Amino acid sequence: MKIAYVSTYLPQQCGIATYTEYLIHGLQEVSPTLDIKVVAEEGAAPVKQERFEVVPCWDRNTNFVEPILSNTKDVDIVHIQHEYGIYSFDDRLPVLLERLNEAAKRTIVTLHCVRPSQFSASGDVDERFAQRIAELADDVIVHLESQKAILERLRIPSAKIHIIPHGTAVSNADKKVSRLRLNLPEEGKIITVFGFVNPFKDLDVSIEVFKEIREEVEDVYLFIAGGLPPDATRKAKDYVDLIRKRIEELDLTDRVIFPNMFFPTEEIPYIFGATDIALFTHYHEDRSVSGSIHLAIGAKKPVIAYRMPKFEIVKHISDELLILPDNASGIAKTAIRIFKDKEFERYVLDRTDGYRNATSWPVTVHKHLKLYSGVG
């Protein structure tokens, strides 16, 4: 069996590229005889190995149908990793699926995000586009029950929708080693906010939360482990300036670590290895899963998140860790309790460990393999 993944791929700074790399690495460990090809967007690094190759050959800003078709002739399954920002809303992806169907290729699409019309700036365009490509694919993978429910409402047959949780990379980096590697304070507590900096990430709220925590917890730091994305807007750049100004206004300069830089994949286990609590304050209504929150869970770190669709998986650890977005004080009090109440901390850590094992990449990979073999 030979599988082609149509996706962004490393070293592109893209969550889908990172997801695909984790999936492929897991498949190679579990099923080393599998032939894998990444039909990647230009910007990925070319690779040519036995049973594995990466062919950067298409661009999201041009007509990618023919380049992808010409590089999937030798495969059995074409698995497309879909995200709205990569493929846009025109006819190219639907035409690609139609042409693959004509060529008798089995097609699978992972819909990483399903956006309901009422929360889309473009009306029903997002929702109808997801419906169209789901209809054309042989099978569709989603990560959440809420995503499946939307597709079922759009009359996609339940039998072709497969819920496979986002994989969790299990890591156990030593705290002291991690902090030395990243030049972070060796002592004290560290609260980490991870990922690209964007206004919808509500970093300003994280800073207000941290201010309240610092009033109750001694020797604590806030680590903003991320920077602007490559395609950062003027609004995002201005937001960084606003964040730095707010840190100064609250007299937190010596307690907030904000390098404003991109951290490569190999540093991620150490970022969370250095962490005591991971904070997720992303504010939007997309039905998608945060890969970053799985990284924190994989490091067995307590996570506190907005009560948003993106973080609904946290309910499997503890619903008490999901806080309403307008309740900064509630977020702070939850962190303070984790720091001060050892019994509560142990409860959270034990539940986190159980969830990371239940969704580890080997588990997720086996679910993919079952689907590829026709028994999923």
pLDDT at residue 376 tops 80: no
322 and 343 together in one domain:
yes
**Count of positions (residues) in the chain:** 376
124 and 249 together in one domain:
no
Q: What angle do CA 233, 237, 242 make, to 5 degrees?
A: 140
DSSP strand E in the chain: where?
Answer: 2-7, 35-41, 47-49, 52-58, 77-82, 106-111, 113-114, 139-142, 161-163, 189-194, 220-225, 256-257, 277-280, 287-288, 303-306, 322-323
SS3 state at 193: strand
Q: Is the peptide bond between 165 and the residue preceding it cis, with omega within 30 degrees of 0?
A: no
pLDDT at residue 82 tops 90: yes
Domain span at residue 48 reads 2-167+360-372
159 and 187 together in one domain:
no
Looking at residue 188, what is its pLDDT?
97
Q: What is the DSSP letter of 173?
A: -
The amino acid present at 117, given as its one-letter code, is: S
Give the C-alpha separation, 177 to 274, whole Å. 8
Instruction: Report the CATH number that the domain containing residue 254 is assigned in CATH.
Output: 3.40.50.2000
214 and 133 together in one domain:
no
Pairing of strands 113-114, 287-288: antiparallel
Looking at residue 232, what is its pLDDT?
86
193 and 214 together in one domain:
yes
Looking at residue 255, what is its pLDDT?
97
Give the C-alpha separation, 65 to 68, whole Å. 5
147 and 263 together in one domain:
no
Q: What is the pLDDT of residues 62-73, one digit of tens each?
A: 999 999 999 999
* Mean pLDDT to the nearest integer, 74-90: 95
192 and 333 together in one domain:
yes
151 and 16 together in one domain:
yes
Both tokens assigned to 51: 């049973």
Looking at residue 277, what is its pLDDT?
98
Q: How many domains are there within the chain?
A: 2
125 and 62 together in one domain:
yes
Band of residue 326 on the pLDDT scale cut at 50, 70, 90: confident
Looking at residue 265, what is its pLDDT?
83
Q: What is the pLDDT of residues 240-293, one digit of tens each?
A: 999 999 999 999 999 999 999 988 889 999 999 999 999 999 887 888 999 999
- Cβ atoms within 10 A of the Cβ of 136, count? 18
| SS3 readout for 278-314 | EEECCCCCCEECCHHHHHHHHCCCCEEEECCHHHHHH
Looking at residue 17, what is its pLDDT?
95
SS3 state at 348: helix
- 97-101, 156-160, 318-322, 324-328 — which is least confidently predicted? 324-328
Both tokens assigned to 31: 């099923």
Q: Give Cα 324 to chain centroid, integer Å.
A: 21
Give the C-alpha separation, 18 to 10, whole Å. 7
48 and 123 together in one domain:
yes
To the nearest whole number, what is the mean pLDDT of the chain?
95
More confident residue, 5 or 115: 5
182 and 154 together in one domain:
no
Band of residue 375 on the pLDDT scale cut at 50, 70, 90: low
The amino acid present at 49, given as its one-letter code, is: Q
214 and 71 together in one domain:
no
Looking at residue 200, what is its pLDDT?
86
Indicate the pTM of the whole model. Answer: 0.89
Q: What is the pLDDT of residues 170-222, one digit of tens each?
A: 999 999 999 999 999 999 999 999 988 988 889 999 999 999 999 999 999 99
SS3 state at 335: helix
Band of residue 368 on the pLDDT scale cut at 50, 70, 90: very high
